[in-house]
Amino acid sequence: MKQVGIIPNLTKDNGELTATIVEKAATYGITSYIVDEMYDFIKNGIPLTKEELYKKSEAILVLGGDGTLLSISKDAAKYDVPILGINIGNLGFLTAIEGSEVDIALKSLKEGTYYIEDRMMLKAELIRDNEIYDEFVALNDIAITKGSYARIIHLKAFINNDFVNFYPADGILISSPTGSTAYSLSAGGPVINPNMECLLLTPICPHVLNIRSIVTNADDEIKIVVDDDNRDIVLTIDGQKGITLKKEDEVVVRKDEKSAKFIKIGKESFFDILRNKLTERLCY
């Protein structure tokens, strides 16, 4: 690779790590494109708008935690450009390397000693009054949950228009394999290898004893229907974007046409990461 874009979380990097990457990249003959806001701090690299950066870069280096990577992954997927997560957050489950390992990463990018994983993404449609009210793309999960009040909500689930079950619960998650280690895992869902393609339906604190997660085909369509007058029900996309739902709203989720491309460096397997990161979480 000869051209990389750098997108930092501006609340976590004051320019120090970005400047280091730009300087080290130059020693490998790699041109660095940076977002306009960061150029004002470091006065190095080539400043571009985000759209221009996505178009010109062979890879995007994302500096931040998992939340930053989730946000950038959806935009990068539109341009079919791979991303490399550099962790300067807390857990960093999705990020590939730590901030101290940037020299190793740049050398790998220059020499081509890396591989790319395709990660399935989700597309959701909010149907209201029989019309598409809004559309969303998620890497991890689509959540339909109660808001601030401590009471259960009532939802109905369908797969390919076949009725699955009625859920009195705190909510429902529809996750990708990547998202199986996020909110779904906390809700008791199974761990799924992110190289697989499937849809995962997981109830959140169901008010019955016999409801469990369901894994279904990636080509299936999951529909959740709000069956509750409670106005404090929220649709959340990757935990970052929310919209209030009302009775008879339908949330339809399927596999997205685009996939996120993650750059991987080294031989650490998914199960190594799973074991190590979840052990870290226990130490917080």
Where b means 16+ CB within 10 Å and e means fewer, 44-83 reads bbebbebeebbebbebbbbbbbbebbbbbbbbbbeeebbb
Q: Is 272 a catalytic residue?
A: no
pLDDT at 283: 43
pLDDT at 228: 87
In tens, the pLDDT along 6-43 reads 999 888 888 889 999 999 999 999 999 998 888 888 88
Cα–Cα distance for residue pair 158/148, rounded to 1 Å? 26
In tens, the pLDDT along 247-270 reads 999 999 999 999 999 999 877 777
Point out the catalytic residue in the list 36, 40, 66, 219.
66
Cβ(87)–Cβ(111) below 8 Å: no
Q: Closest Cα to residue 68, out of 78, 76, 57, 59?
A: 76
Hey, is 1 helix, strand or coil?
Answer: coil
Residue 53: band (very low, low, confident or very high) from pLDDT cuts 50, 70, 90: very high
Q: Closest Cα to residue 57, out of 117, 118, 110, 6?
A: 6
pLDDT higher than 50, residue 284: no
Could you give all domains of the chain from N- to C-terminal order, each with its CATH number?
3-114+265-282 (3.40.50.10330), 122-257 (2.60.200.30)
User: Tokens 């690299």, residue?
Assistant: 45
In tens, the pLDDT along 73-92 reads 999 999 999 999 998 866 66
In tens, the pLDDT along 144-180 reads 999 877 689 999 999 999 999 999 999 999 999 999 9
Query: Percent of the chain having pLDDT more than 90?
Result: 70
